[in-house]
Chains A and B, each alone.
Chain A
Amino acid sequence: MKGFFSKERTQIPYKSEGGRVHSCTSCGLHKFVLSPRMKPFGKGDKGIMVIGEAPGEEEDKKGRPWQGKAGRLLQEQYRKLGIDLFEDCICLNAVNCRPTDKKGNNRTPTEFEVACCRQRVIQTIEKHKPKVVIIHGGTVLSSLIGHKWRKDLSGISKWRGWTIPDRDYKAWLCPTFHPSFIERQERETEINVVWAQDIKQAIGMADVPFPSGKKEEDCVVMSDDIEKVLTDLIDQRPELLAFDIETTGLKPYNKKVHEIVSIAFCTEPDKAYAIPYPKEEKHLALLKELLEHPDIGKVAANMMFEDTWLNIMSDIEVKPWRWDTMQAAHVLDNRPGITGLKFQSYVRFGVLGYDDDVVAYLKSPGTNTPNDIKTLARDKAGMRRLLLYNGLDAILEYRLALLQIEEFE
């Protein structure tokens, strides 16, 4: 065992890397503004929360969010959709005191200021329990997601348009552009259209029930009985079989160094099987039979990877390939950086951080250098952690494939 608790994503760091506490005192913006710690404003009748970047000059004077030029544009846009920003929504900012530069002009809040105000924003969400949180701009994205998204967050362009069922906030997170970005456009472009569509879609999410279901962790069956799992799957002859392998590296060509450590399968949305990768001949024969079975369609996230490894390591030619979630994600939406299973799992299912327990072991120092996965798998408890992760990958792949197939149809 390598520890009792996986890294919880809901935890808000209360100190920065420099050791400063994330608090109003250490931020200090409140000392220089007319409306310190601006309170959320609006009745929120429709359960929609609208979050902006930070108060500007007019907001600071009036003590309410969305009072300036960009705010008026936003009010107008919401009005067109039949929404009164201050009756139907609750409005607040990622940073709730006006940040100014040395000349007294508005400026973008720093990361530290965003972090200092994060707890306040999250507490407001917890208090008002909105059904939908509309995220206007990258600063808000950083406030709500930045601390739990371990990879590069990138800009708002990558995130806009998704309706994320965030499990921590128990609300649909709907990122889109900040109205000041729209306001700065010299003429009406497709950006205006996209922005209007994003807001319309976000508002519509207030009527969509928040998804609930079995916890993914409870859906993974981890087994050492390789023969039984493989035989059962062959007997089942599922139409679709999503599978995923965990390997010691990215490229399998050095067979002396590399190996496949575990494999997981999923044939229904709420059940996956994860097993150590077969070593005995009879088990490998069963695996070959399953993965080459003509009646069982195969699904993977990045099928090139699975295909190459299995071919080189175990002489298995996976067929027939039915779906690759990465390719499908790209066909559905060609923005860069969105096709990976981790991103898709979060924006579509709200599942985040399920790799926390193993990610340190999956990184290898070089293309041909093995990662540390075998260190993890050398004791029983470590192997169970790897199998759980492997099984979760398979389940999410399967669920994603079903969604994508539906969208294609």
Chain B
Amino acid sequence: MKVNKAELQSVLEKVKPGLASKDLIEQATSFAFVGDRVVTYNDEISVSHPVTGLDVTGAVKAKALYDFLSKVKQEEIEIEWENNQVVISAGRSKAGLVLEQEVKLPLDEEIGQAGGWTKVPTNFVDGLQFCYPCCSRDMSRPVLTCVHVNGDTVESSDSYQIARFKMNKAFEIGPFLIPASAAKELIKYNIREVAQGDGWVHFKAEGDTIFSTRVLSNEFPDTTEHLKVENGAPLTFPQKIGEILRRALIFAKAEIETGDIPLVTISVAEGRMSLTAKNEYGWFSEDTRVRYNGPPVKFAVGISFMADIADRIQDCSIGEDRIGFSGKNWQHVVAMLGDGGPEE
């Protein structure tokens, strides 16, 4: 049968997040064709998407199929399914890919059937996008490696910073914890609906893609009190703070103590803010004017995330041991690190 190559590539691209990098589970590095859908599964994420014109059941190695398609120039390719192989013809090229006729992925027994769909808040993906960079990479603290979705709130923390995003509507299921690795992929889809599974949560995106992610059932720590900055002195950031932070990032050193987050040191005193960073390749320093009437402070903060949100900061307040930022529907609090704390 004739198939449009670009369309097939686009479908395979959609299910790619469910592929494993190593074949720890049988067929975890394969595209599985089940009825009218192509499915991937790596024990953490499973993605399926409708595929037209390929009514077959079996699994083919993802890398071989994907790489071959990307090297073919023809817009239309011919695909034929034989007993134990898939033959793809493109112009004068022909390739035969081994076809495992039995799909061995534990789709039904592990993930179950997704059903009971409800709408997700329209800015859910914005919330995920805002929060997932604050997740921890420390696997000994698994809860903190996840984004917490609870009612109309999305939040995350690596213990050194907390991000919270308020959505325009509450989730009808949950609360649940999505691993940051899944959230990072999920934000690439236009998510419309959600369904609760047993140990999994399923998201339906535009085009009928179903993205299933394993979720953690543990309790996320209460962040409410930590988000408060008591007796904080307001600080108005300069408009070009984002640019300055991005320059400083080049020289920021990742600190083991903070889970390898690159840090920048910020000193604020008498209407001036000084940003400094230093790593093994060199150093950076930049002064800028700010509006701030509090006591002189010097603190170190994780720079990457700060650089991302800098242009959206509406309020900033510096407390005794933390600094708080907020915008239209979000809050972000950073613990003062290193030489933090008010200077004498």
Report A's interface with B, CB cutoff 8 A.
1-5, 7-8, 10-15, 17, 20-21, 23-26, 119, 123, 378-381
Residue of A nearest to B105 (CB): A25
Name A23's contact: one of B110, B143, B337 (CB within 8 Å): B110
Name B43's contact: one of A3, A25, A123, A380 (CB within 8 Å): A25
Please determine whether B43 and A21 come into contact, CB atoms closer than 8 angstroms.
yes
Complex Cα spacing A11 to B143, Å = 7
**Would you give the shortest CB distance from A91 to chain B, in whole angstroms?**
23
Given A5-B221, A13-B140, A123-B217, also A380-B160 (CB < 8 A)? no
The 4 A-B residue pairs whose C-beta atoms are closest, nearest first, are: A3-B159, A379-B341, A1-B335, A381-B321
Q: Tell me, yes or no, whether B202 is within 8 Å of chain A by CB.
A: no
Complex Cα spacing A24 to B25, Å = 11
Residue of A nearest to B160 (CB): A3
Please determine whether A2 and B335 come into contact, CB atoms closer than 8 angstroms.
yes
Given A5-B144, A21-B44, A26-B25, also A10-B218 (CB < 8 A)? yes
Q: Tell me, yes or no, whether B1 is within 8 Å of chain A by CB.
A: no
Complex Cα spacing A17 to B140, Å = 9
Please determine whether A7 and B43 come into contact, CB atoms closer than 8 angstroms.
no
Report B's interface with A, CB cutoff 8 A.
24-25, 43-44, 106, 109-110, 139-144, 157, 159-160, 162, 179, 214, 216-219, 221, 223, 226, 257, 320-322, 333, 335-337, 339-342
Complex Cα spacing A7 to B214, Å = 23
Given A3-B159, A380-B320, also A20-B24 (CB < 8 A)? yes
Given A3-B335, A25-B25, also A380-B341 (CB < 8 A)? yes
Q: Which residues of B contact A12 (CB under 8 A)?
A: 142, 216, 218
Please determine whether A379 and B218 come into contact, CB atoms closer than 8 angstroms.
no
Please determine whether B24 and A1 come into contact, CB atoms closer than 8 angstroms.
no
Given A12-B218, A123-B217, also A5-B157 (CB < 8 A)? yes
Please determine whether A2 and B257 come into contact, CB atoms closer than 8 angstroms.
yes
Please determine whether B43 and A1 come into contact, CB atoms closer than 8 angstroms.
no
Complex Cα spacing A24 to B106, Å = 10
**Would you give the shortest CB distance from A217 to chain B, in whole angstroms?**
13
Q: Which residues of A contact B162 (CB under 8 A)?
A: 4
Name B157's contact: one of A4, A25, A378, A381 (CB within 8 Å): A4
Complex Cα spacing A245 to B297, Å = 31
Please determine whether A11 and B142 come into contact, CB atoms closer than 8 angstroms.
yes
Q: Which residues of B contact A380 (CB under 8 A)?
A: 320-321, 341-342
Residue of A nearest to B219 (CB): A10
